[in-house]
Structure 1
Amino acid sequence: MCRIFGYFNAAATPHVMRTVAALQRHGGPDATGVAQGAGWGLGSNRLAVVGLDGGRQPYGRGGPVQVVFNGEIYNHEELRRRLEGLGHVIPDRCDGSVLPALYLEYGEEFTEHLDGMYALALVDTRGALPRLLLATDHIGMKPLYHRWDPADRSLYFASELPALLGFGGIGERVRESALDALLTTRTPFGTRTMYEDVEVLEPGTTWVCELGGPPRVRRRAAHVPDGAADPGDGFTTARQVRRTLRHEVGRLLEADVPVAVVTSGGLDSSLVTALAAEHGPQHTFTLAYRGTWPFDERHFAREVADRARTVHHEVEIDPAGFPGLLEDTVWHLGQPNADPIALSTYALFQAIREAGFTVALTGDGADEVFGGYERMRLATERAAAGADWAPAYLDALSAVPAALRGRLYTDAYRAHVAADPALPGAARQDLLHGPGTVLDRITRFELEQRLPAYHLRRVDHLSMASSVEARLPFCQRSVLSLGRPLPDHRRIQGGQVKRTLYAAAAGLLPDRVLSRPKQPFTLPVTAMLRPGTTLWEYARDLLAPDRTAAAGRLDGRAVDALFTAQAERPDDTAALALWTLLVHEVWDGQFRRSLHGRGTAAQAPGGTRPLAVAA
């Protein structure tokens, strides 16, 4: 696991490359490697997980094919044996060391042989002109941001947004519709980011360019069924899911560093915990908040840990420290994400690292694959009754429902966003009118749009902020291949969500965990954002009416009315709206005002050490 960065048909001094590396060294503290040639450069920050004594990047250093790589290749041993049988020499047992030989053997199709999570960059200097290839994994577990300038055909890329900005001259203009994207979908979807000139590679993408030429961008086939016939009776299907998950959890526990398991007390992470415990003693981690708050799941997590006989760690954070924690979290994300759980995610992985662990298994992705969200259930029930399901579903996706957004926006901003909607047009068309049942279309949308943008980038950035590699059993191809084609009634029926996954977990988890009502793993922001708390005063200060109205997008009086409503009658809608606007204001203060401020340095979280950003 690493952080990668580089440029193509462009230039960057060694100082700039060191600056970019420093801005994401938290994700790769064990080594930094850089290779540069005429018009190109590759760099890597390494977090050593497999093959600790080898793995020097760029892989293939000094040869005709050099690669920097972020992720894990779970089938690297099989690939190594195959490639050595074909006459290739693999220098060490690090998983990424197979990549140059794999490319030499299979060319641009080499990614078809990879089983894992990854974002990679490869330079091939065998031809008359150097060629760059970028690639991302099938579901987007490892993001890659880039700035392509079509005028001079130059490219800069990095694993994290703050690092990409470190090249200089990037991210100077925010998309005018970016605030609407945040409020509508909780973070930008598709290839978009908050910045006009920065995009993110979509999952399963191969991007190829010769020096000075235009790029060829290809979305690779997913190789995952998209809605199919019932694979069998419910018992057989559940047993197959359990068997496949057991295999994937066992495989993902393999590392040359200590591995932990995140256990929230919900079905998904609890099932991962139970299956991990079958492979030997485990350490589990859960997070709670000091005091008494709604949605406290620590007792469920403790029950799961006790049954699995793990060494259980309960991480408790103090809400009084949320303002500072929010600033650190937003910095590492590089752009706003409206989910309040981001704070908890950052704090939890920080505690995991401090306890001595470098890898952690999580339950992310199960709701998308197996049909676990309440909004999915409600949409399918409305559709079955002949009602219009889409408006309520889209509001459930949002941080701020459509009607409230209309009241918050100025007339000019409402007119602008009407012409530049937050949802990518093709994705919206497929969601509303594409092939398959309503649940098929929603599942496809959740997996291809929301999961990579909203969940996976957040998990990646906030785990790697503390040098922890998050591994996701539910996002592996074998699990997707079982869950994705399930018919509707195997996912949601009779008011129950994730029917197949609950059946797969039967007998492995405490009855109270299996029978409890589903609740979100979240920060109870409605209860915490109230008068008299540190968070309330912090939000009041940053969201003062004159400040929120300054850019001409928001009506400051309407924002102030949210505070009044939340103070008088706490409400999930008002609380999440205020939280999201607060996150945006923190991001704006860190990345926008500092970018245009005279003599301002970009600062690492905590503000302990300024890092100069190249002009």
Structure 2
Amino acid sequence: MCAIFGIIGTYEEEKAIEAFDTLAHRGIDAKYTSVNAHCFLGVHRLAITDVTKTLTPIYNHDGLQILFNGEIYNYEVLAVELQLHKASEIDVLYAAYRVWGDDFVKHLRGMFAIAIIEEAQVKLFRDPFGKKPIYYTLDEQRFIFASEMKAIHSLVPFTFDRQIVTQYLSFQTPLPPHTFHRYIHQVDAGEMVTFSVDERRVKRKRYYTPFSEGQTISEQKKAEEQLENVLLESVAMRLPKEVKFACLLSGGVDSSLICAMASLIQKVHTFSIGYEGYEKYDERPYAKTVSEHIKSNHHEVLFSKTDFLQTIEEVIGSLDEPLADPAMLPLYHLMKAVHKEGFKVVLTGDGSDELFMGYRTYKEFYALEQAKELGFKGWLQNYFKSHFSMHKEWEWYKRIFEGSTLFRSTAEIFTDLQQNRLLRMNVKDNRSLAALESYKEEFEQSGRVSPMEWYSFVDLKVMLGNVFLRKLDRMSMAHSIEARSPFLDKEVVATAFSCTPDLRMMKPSKALVKNVARKYLPNEIVDRKKKGFNYPYMEWLQESGELEVIHRIQEKMNLFNESELEMYLEKGKQGMFKQHLFSLYMLCKWLEKVNRSS
């Protein structure tokens, strides 16, 4: 079940149906509505579980209505605990809510967006890591919620929030509860949002944190054993029993390990993508090595410049907001190929790098943290202020000397000072840090103090929850495919955060995962140097003249300081500031689409 939609209050049925149908790509197998004078509810279903049954995914019983999007992997276990016989996922959700109240979500292992309507209240729940999206808006006549913003956009006039440009340039995407639409909000990962009809108020409450009060694992062997066990269980839980599934295989250790563990249960299909003529970006040889090792049915997909340019137009149509991750374009193309082959579910390796400290930048930042202990930093602080550099390292040292939070997620692209120089608005120092305030507060309340744990935690929230999982959901659901990420199971995450920081930062990088992987993969795959996902996106944008959209939007909206904008465009021709330019390109490409349609 992959799209939910609701209006509580005044509505026109014809317009409500049109809004609901904008979500049809998320669930192509059936659609259901429940309508009365003051409530329009709808669900589009993608049949993964109980495929042959005609289910009613809008549960309506005893004055309670439930809409559900996602998968609950432990619903059969919960059914036994709740003494239910032949129960569906939504039967289990109803019973769990009746027994445990709002805490029922704490018992779920899966990915979900759930709406519960009861006694003049609407409650929205989003899964702990943000795999399934849910948005809402409130005005004087109605409360609207939907799995994607496009359904709300069709009912509410678009109001561009210019201030959110700074969040986007900082983190590649707006952070919850904000969106680019001033009056549309997103539920955060692990959050419950409650709307009271009588009070006309919205309340937000966090129900999940990865910081458990349980065991601390300090022994390497124990950590590896526990990680292996929970990961095997997580993979097994995510293999569908009734529909075809595939595994995305890059040839890196994470996706390879997931594929290998899945292949222990049954023969798997694997998909990888490559770039003909751009061998330095191409990881297909590694994927093929893994495929041969696990004896999978392997599929290779090519992504050309022509595919790239066509995909941009299709992706812009699929996105409700700009997203500054260039990896979404080949991912969209790959998902299209997976769909053509008849698969409804894919497994991915997302989450391992953030949980087990796989990025080189973590070590760089940790080394820089030591500079905080320097005495007599005044001269250095003044020197840095008077010798500005566009390089990100300048900003890092500035934060160190000022005693500010150094690491603000791997997602960070533009620093505050870079934005202040580029945008025609005053962007103060530490504006990006202010956007992370709720995450900083949660981390501090946990009692954790290690910088390494902060890196992992904030990336779980920002890089994963708001960039990678948003990308994965939109690119897969655009082709009616459900993407599942075994590393992002509650028990796997709990294991990671139970390990002491020194275990998670052992050499070589991501040692715990690699030591588990040695049982399942060739050493040449486990030990090969990590290669960040990349392809010649900037070369293709420049060759095709696509970057001209930046000038067109600048002429119309005057967002940027001309001299600074031209500096980025010129440096881009020299191969510099690729991510900066891509984020500007996607912003302007999206704004042009919005301006055309409004």
Give the structure-1-normalised TM-score. 0.86
1:83-125: CA deviation from partner (whole Å, max 9, x where unpaired): 445xxxx6x654233223333333333223322111011223x
Say which of 467, 470, 480 aligns to 1:467: 480
8 Å Cα contact 1:365-1:451 kept in structure 2: yes
Say which of 139, 143, 146 aligns to 1:158: 146
> Which residue of structure 1 aligns with residue 391 of structure 2?
none
> Which residue of structure 1 aligns with residue 134 of structure 2?
144
The 1:109–1:391 alpha-carbon spacing in structure 2 relative to 1, beyond 3 Å, is closer
SS of corresponding position for 2:6:
strand
Distance 2:46 2:311 in 1: 24
Matched, 1:308 2:316: no
> Which residue of structure 1 aligns with residue 546 of structure 2?
538
> Which residue of structure 1 aligns with residue 392 of structure 2?
none
1:250-284: CA deviation from partner (whole Å, max 9, x where unpaired): 11113311011111111111110110111110000
> Which residue of structure 1 aligns with residue 515 of structure 2?
503
Matched, 1:349 2:335: yes
8 Å Cα contact 1:207-1:215 kept in structure 2: no
> Which residue of structure 2 aligns with residue 279 of structure 1?
265
> Which residue of structure 1 aligns with residue 393 of structure 2?
none
Counterpart amino acid of 1:158?
A: A
> Which residue of structure 2 aligns with residue 372 of structure 1?
358
Distance 1:157 1:60 in 2: 17
Distance 1:432 1:554 in 2: 36
Structure 2: runs of 5+ lacking an equivalent: 374-396
> Which residue of structure 1 aligns with residue 534 of structure 2?
522
The 1:119–1:425 alpha-carbon spacing in structure 2 relative to 1, beyond 3 Å, is same
Distance 2:36 2:534 in 1: 47
Greater Cα offset, 515-524 or 180-189: 515-524
Distance 1:549 1:421 in 2: 31
Say which of 493, 500, 504 aligns to 1:487: 500
1:314-333: CA deviation from partner (whole Å, max 9, x where unpaired): 11121223233112213322
Distance 1:289 1:327 in 2: 20
Distance 1:319 1:228 in 2: 51
**1:50-69 to 2 correspondences below 5 Å:** 50-54=49-53, 56-61=55-60, 64-69=63-68
8 Å Cα contact 1:180-1:417 kept in structure 2: no
Distance 2:517 2:205 in 1: 34
Counterpart amino acid of 1:398?
A: E
Distance 2:433 2:320 in 1: 22
Distance 1:385 1:207 in 2: 41
1:480-511: CA deviation from partner (whole Å, max 9, x where unpaired): 110112212211245x3222111111231122
1:410-440: CA deviation from partner (whole Å, max 9, x where unpaired): 3xx1358987977233335677998411111
> Which residue of structure 1 aligns with residue 12 of structure 2?
13
TM superposition shift of 1:519? 1.9
> Which residue of structure 2 aligns with residue 605 of structure 1?
none
Greater Cα offset, 177-186 or 216-225: 216-225
Distance 1:422 1:11 in 2: 36
> Which residue of structure 1 aligns with residue 4 of structure 2?
4
1:557-610: CA deviation from partner (whole Å, max 9, x where unpaired): 43233332222x222x2x222211111111112224412xxxxxxxxxxxxxxx
Matched, 1:333 2:319: yes
8 Å Cα contact 2:215-2:498 kept in structure 1: yes
The 1:429–1:526 alpha-carbon spacing in structure 2 relative to 1, beyond 3 Å, is farther
TM superposition shift of 1:29? 0.6
> Which residue of structure 1 aligns with residue 583 of structure 2?
580
8 Å Cα contact 1:73-1:96 kept in structure 2: no
Counterpart amino acid of 2:7?
A: Y
Matched, 1:35 2:34: yes
**1:59-458 to 2 correspondences below 5 Å:** 59-61=58-60, 64-85=63-84, 94-124=88-118, 129-149=119-139, 152=140, 154-166=142-154, 168-170=155-157, 172-215=158-201, 217-222=203-208, 224-225=210-211, 230-384=216-370, 386=372, 393-394=407-408, 397-410=411-424, 413-415=425-427, 423-427=435-439, 435-458=448-471
8 Å Cα contact 2:272-2:284 kept in structure 1: yes
Q: CA RMSD in A?
A: 2.6
SS of corresponding position for 1:45:
strand
Greater Cα offset, 440-449 or 549-558: 549-558
**1:553-568 to 2 correspondences below 5 Å:** 553-567=559-573
Distance 1:578 1:398 in 2: 14
TM superposition shift of 1:198? 1.1
Of all paired residues, the percent bearing the same amino acid is 26
Structure 1: runs of 5+ lacking an equivalent: 596-615
Greater Cα offset, 60-69 or 334-343: 60-69
TM superposition shift of 1:302? 0.9
TM superposition shift of 1:454? 1.2
Give the structure-2-normalised TM-score. 0.88
Distance 1:65 1:113 in 2: 20
The 1:70–1:523 alpha-carbon spacing in structure 2 relative to 1, beyond 3 Å, is farther
Say which of 563, 584, 592 aligns to 1:589: 592
The 1:159–1:549 alpha-carbon spacing in structure 2 relative to 1, beyond 3 Å, is same
> Which residue of structure 2 aligns with residue 512 of structure 1?
524
8 Å Cα contact 2:420-2:428 kept in structure 1: no
The 1:392–1:80 alpha-carbon spacing in structure 2 relative to 1, beyond 3 Å, is closer
TM superposition shift of 1:409? 2.1
TM superposition shift of 1:82? 3.6
The 1:285–1:67 alpha-carbon spacing in structure 2 relative to 1, beyond 3 Å, is same
8 Å Cα contact 2:6-2:41 kept in structure 1: yes
8 Å Cα contact 1:359-1:468 kept in structure 2: yes
> Which residue of structure 1 aligns with residue 575 of structure 2?
570
TM superposition shift of 1:201? 0.6
TM superposition shift of 1:463? 0.7
The 1:324–1:437 alpha-carbon spacing in structure 2 relative to 1, beyond 3 Å, is same
The 1:169–1:209 alpha-carbon spacing in structure 2 relative to 1, beyond 3 Å, is closer
Distance 1:422 1:289 in 2: 40
